[in-house]
Each structure stands twice: as structure tokens, then as C-alpha cells.
Amino acid sequence: MAELPASLLILNGKSTDNLPLREAIMLLREEGMTIHVRVTWEKGDAARY
């Protein structure tokens, strides 16, 4: 795989129990992608990331 830039994934707190999403992130990481995950809890959190 060509070297790709790191990705930042910002999730709503309700998305954290989404098993297919978690599995997809794990698979991409196993394939060598760098994925940083941040979770929002309060209004305005996404803007801070």
C-alpha cells in the first residue's frame, strides 16, 4: 500500500458502540493506515479537534 497521510476520525459519542465501524477501523490499522479517533461528548468538541 502506498504511504498515506494519517487520518482523523471524529465520532459522536453514540457511535462508539458501532461494531462494524470499530471492525473497519481495526482492519484499516492492520493494513498499515494511521487512524486517530476522537469522540465528542459535548457541544463544540468537534471544533476543538
Q: Range of 23's domain?
A: 7-48
Considering the entire predicted model, what is its pTM? Answer: 0.75
Would you say residue 2 lies in a domain? no
Q: How many residues does the chain have?
A: 49
Q: What domain count does the chain have?
A: 1
Would you say residue 38 lies in a domain? yes
Instruction: Give residue-wise pLDDT tens across range 1-49.
Output: 567 789 999 998 888 889 999 999 999 999 999 999 999 988 888 888 8
Q: Of 30, 27, 35, 28, which Cα lies nearest the Cα of 8?
A: 35
pLDDT of residue 35: 97
pLDDT of residue 29: 96
Residue whose C-alpha cell is 465528542: 40
Would you say residue 16 lies in a domain? yes
pLDDT of residue 37: 94
Would you say residue 1 lies in a domain? no
Secondary structure of 11-47 in the HEC alphabet? EEHHHHHCHHHHHHHHHHHHCCCCEEEEEECCCCHHH
